């Protein structure tokens, strides 16, 4: 028994924990959990031996004839679920890795253990580390009826007229307010709006409170650009696997606290028609030694933008692999309804300091060495973070290895450039559909290698099937557009 195992037992006993949520992710990025009575961790061998489960029931993991798998906990990830105080339901959550039957070998279908941990270990062996700071946006709605979607001319009962012409929004429950008539935030005007227009402040405050109790420290939070209900909370940067774990804690807390209010938190990239969508800009930097203690390999105080040559090559790698990365970073059909002009989404493959119209941005708030980083803007919160983060880093490292020149930074608003100007500057575009992105992933050997053959094949199969389902579905828009043809 290790000291870490003793610590887990002590925490569970001291806090009178009754149930432990055992967590991992499937290939698509869905959080998977199952509950184990805490006594199995305190008195039994769950910490050492893990728990067996049916891998055939997890999308993309195993076929039925070889479905026995073992989940083993990572003791460092134990967290008390702080909003559950009932002594019968007192719960902790702990992340783990997935092993093949027998519990000896990591399973090649596990995004956390096989993909993200492997790259993190490889970097550590080279004396390096990465830190990641994702900006995760999402929406909270008071209710959501797919057959009555405001801002959708095709399914709204009044055809988008009158009172129905407005997005789903979270409204206070106060009786003196008439929902839909007070404190309306117009589309694209939600950024940094204060109360009472922003009705999500108390929810965000609660979310920050509980996230910090679970070890996810929030730097700041605010209402986002879209109309009522779009929010963003940014947590302090951390290493590769911890950032993936924090992503899921963030989602887990956001959804549960919204449900406690009778609301719905959704990380669907674009839930609203004709308004801004939710992205996930990922800040990242490469370090020699431990983050913030060693040397930031992206920093060069003599450079006009504070960037080292390694950082520029890293950017070159991101741009080189951007089209393939998009399949992992924007992995849903809905993702590509975000990647369109006019809504601040990155669609052009270029880089720039401080320029939010570029795919890769170099934040210019501070030029001190510890703050130098790059921001990859081509991801959204529907992704599997273990896969997306690892693939981004692999692309950047490939740029350093091959010394890929990113070209000159684009200092203009790329959205305003003519097609001829973009062509002259060598600015390409991200894929416009999930199918296009999958085709690029299928030809990118660097990204395929870091995923491993099993995850690559399973991801492609799942997503091609998803695309085919979408192509076959007849939408309300099609009836409205073509019934009288």
β-sheet bridge partners, residue 92:
20, 80
Q: What is the DSSP string of 384-414?
A: -HHHHHHHHHHHHHHHHHHT----SPP-S-G
CA dist 300 and 307 (Å) reads 5
Active site residue 176: no
CA dist 39 and 17 (Å) reads 9
- The one catalytic residue among 39, 209, 261, 356: 356
CA dist 411 and 427 (Å) reads 13
Determine the longest span between alpha carbons in the chain, in angstroms.
Answer: 72
Query: Binding site, residues?
Result: 135, 137, 219, 224, 232, 276-277, 281, 283-285, 338, 344, 356, 375, 377
- The one catalytic residue among 7, 43, 48, 54: 54
Per the rule left: phi > 0, alpha: psi between -120 and 50, beta: everything else, 188 is left
- 135: which DSSP letter? E
- The one catalytic residue among 74, 375, 380, 398: 375
Active site residue 377: yes
- Both tokens assigned to 439: 């085709």
- The one catalytic residue among 79, 169, 270, 377: 377
- How many residues are recorded in the chain? 485
Active site residue 420: no
Query: Binding site for ATP, residues?
Result: 219, 283-285, 356
- The one catalytic residue among 28, 223, 281, 321: 281
Give φ, ψ of 258 to 5 degrees: -65, -45
Active site residue 429: no
Active site residue 135: yes
Query: Binding site for Mg(2+), residues?
Result: 135, 137, 224, 232, 281, 375
Query: Binding site for L-glutamate, residues?
Result: 276-277, 338, 344, 356, 377
- Both tokens assigned to 110: 């596990």
Active site residue 445: no
- The one catalytic residue among 100, 137, 198, 398: 137
Active site residue 232: yes
- The one catalytic residue among 232, 245, 320, 444: 232
Active site residue 186: no
- Both tokens assigned to 440: 């690029």
- The one catalytic residue among 26, 74, 97, 135: 135
CA dist 409 and 212 (Å) reads 37
Active site residue 224: yes
Those residues with Cβ within 8 angstroms of residue 374's Cβ, 6 or more apart along the chain or in another chain: 283, 284, 285, 298, 311, 314, 315, 318, 351, 360, 361, 362
- The one catalytic residue among 142, 224, 300, 398: 224
Positions marked active-site: 54, 135, 137, 224, 232, 281, 356, 375, 377
């Amino acid at each position: 028994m290790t000291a870490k195992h003793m610590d887990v037992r002590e925490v569970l006993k001291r806090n009178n924990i009754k149930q432990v949520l055992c967590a991992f992710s499937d290939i698509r990025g869905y959080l998977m959990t199952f509950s184990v009575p805490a006594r199995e961790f305190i008195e039994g061998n769950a910490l050492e031996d893990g728990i067996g489960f049916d891998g055939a029931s997890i999308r993309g993991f195993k076929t039925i004839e070889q479905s026995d798998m073992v989940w083993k906990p990572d003791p460092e990830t134990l967290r008390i679920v702080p909003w559950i105080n009932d002594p019968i339901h007192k719960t902790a959550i702990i992340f783990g890795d997935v092993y093949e039957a027998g519990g000896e070998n990591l399973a090649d279908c596990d995004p956390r253990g096989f993909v993200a941990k492997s790259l993190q270990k490889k970097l550590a062996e080279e004396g390096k580390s990465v830190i990641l700071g994702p900006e995760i946006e999402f929406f909270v709605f008071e209710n959501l009826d797919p057959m009555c979607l405001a801002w959708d001319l095709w399914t709204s009962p009044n055809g988008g007229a009158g009172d129905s012409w407005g997005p789903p929004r979270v409204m206070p429950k106060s009786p003196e307010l008439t929902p839909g008539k007070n404190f309306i935030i117009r589309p694209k005007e939600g950024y940094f709006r204060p109360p009472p227009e922003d009705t999500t402040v108390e929810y965000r405050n609660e979310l920050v409170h509980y996230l910090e109790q679970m070890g996810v420290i929030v730097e700041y939070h605010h209402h986002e650009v879209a109309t009522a209900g779009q929010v963003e909370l940014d947590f302090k940067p951390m290493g590769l696997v911890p950032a993936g774990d924090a992503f899921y804690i963030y989602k887990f807390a956001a959804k549960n606290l919204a449900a406690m209010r009778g609301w719905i938190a959704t990380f669907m990239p674009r839930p609203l028609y004709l308004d801004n969508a939710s992205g996930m800009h990922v800040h990242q930097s490469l370090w020699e030694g431990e983050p913030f203690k060693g040397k930031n390999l992206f920093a060069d105080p003599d450079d006009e933008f504070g960037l080292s040559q390694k950082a520029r090559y890293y950017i070159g790698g991101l741009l080189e692999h951007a089209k393939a990365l998009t399949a992992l970073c924007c992995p849903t059909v809905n993702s590509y309804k975000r990647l369109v002009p006019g809504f601040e989404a990155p669609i052009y493959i270029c880089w720039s300091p401080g320029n939010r119209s570029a795919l890769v941005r170099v934040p210019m708030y501070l030029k001190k060495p510890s703050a130098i980083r790059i921001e990859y803007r081509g991801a959204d919160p529907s992704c599997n973070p273990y896969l997306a983060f690892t693939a981004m880093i692999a692309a950047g490292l490939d740029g350093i290895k091959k010394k890929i020149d990113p070209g000159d930074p684009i200092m203009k608003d790329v959205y305003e450039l003519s097609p001829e100007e973009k062509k002259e500057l060598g600015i390409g575009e991200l894929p416009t559909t999930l199918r296009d992105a999958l085709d690029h992933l299928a030809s990118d050997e660097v990204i395929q290698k870091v995923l491993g053959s099993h995850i690559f094949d399973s991801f492609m199969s799942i997503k091609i099937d998803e695309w085919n389902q979408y192509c076959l579905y007849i939408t309300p828009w099609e009836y409205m557009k073509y019934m009288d043809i």
